[in-house]
Structure 1
């Protein structure tokens, strides 16, 4: 594939985009800056330039092997959620959303919808904790990050691949389905994935993962996992990180296309989505920030995807997940 063919001036494909995962909220909260304009991968200007219809903002908590009481990490999470709400209030081009109705209203008003998610389910120790997050308009929770927690085990390496959800984790997954909080299996151990698939009748997703057949990394999904997500009518947001794409030191468009093609081949077109992991990855990126999304969509169309398929990748499949928010599945 000739990378130089991408991004010809005036020919980039402009389609609305829904990105299922970024760590911009954590960046702003931890290192400073704001949503309106910054030097990170995502700000309001870049979102508009990239055609964003909605962005999922993760409140990521680095629990660091529980070196502090869980309550302290939970307070950190609530503080980050307060920062999210303040950023929304201070940026009139952004509007919070927790449902399809919210999304449609924001779209009519010309605003980018901002969905709040949690990346580290270890802050949940009870049903009450989950209810509190729901009341704060959290509608997606990534069950684990890189450490074992109250819900399950991670797939940072192969150490925990055979360890599944905890008893609490199984109960919380069921409660999430009852409340209409999307269950995110990115970062979750293999056994935890299969526990989740067994518990849930409805959809779940991997918000920022790639394909293990193409890149043998524990964070990536096996073909059987991809098929299971498809059987549950869920989606996989392809991660732009070079480590998961298997593209050396740089996250490339070629790598994204390869993993998207494998998802389509294995799970069908309705599983394909975007989960950039912007502001949570540190390697050089060919899609240098959110403003480069049209460049990626153009490349997808030039490499075998129809415009209708590009629309599914860009926003239609993710929008289907939004339909389930707040509804028992």
Structure 2
């Protein structure tokens, strides 16, 4: 496929896979919007392959997860190296990598997150939790920032971009506690569970529901902290990109806010944001993009440059 066909396929992917990101992406300038779509298509394809899904829906067992991860790495390496793979999502990544000089290690870091899931890994500590969130979302935030024109050596801004990915993933984890438990997964650190006397093999125990709700609230509070940090970093982006990022931050941040105010109801029914609330954040994001926030240091926040699994 040529570039225009890959862009079209990527647009179809984001429209099917995420209404929130699809809406926010429309705010970018055309060349950045296309690259964002193509990066999303690669992320979505990798996630679907790892979890046996179709655009994030219908999780099913993967026959040989380690072999799947190995194939994912091979196709990604070939695509970033400039080879045609015959797989639209991977070829789309290859185009973005060539146009934006994306560092190879970031794509590898994302795949490392899928490898952790393939190994049925669970975080022991809060640091482990953040390391996982970096792999599956924070590294993508860094790639997005580079697509928007941030130099690869600007660690301060890339850290803020990573923060937005961390915020998004913490929101996902808080929202999907029940769905993950049904799939045999748990991303709440074992140390947190022990602190609240929750059995890691039975986190949905009704007798410990109040304690679980406290941990869900803790995830949401952390998400809000990293969203706030990311908003400061967004001030360094061009206006259209800043608007899109702030709109996405608000739309996705609402997930954590709704989970937190649900008083445990999110464990019974999956939280979703309405179309009107998404449009609200597009409008509000425009105003926020005009007035840059006061700078605040990232003191106390997790850093991607200081931690390795």
Normalized against structure 1, the TM-score is what? Answer: 0.34
- Identify the structure with bigger relative contact order (alpha carbons < 8 Å, sequence gap 6+): 1
Normalized against structure 2, the TM-score is what? Answer: 0.35
Q: Which has the larger share of helix?
A: 2
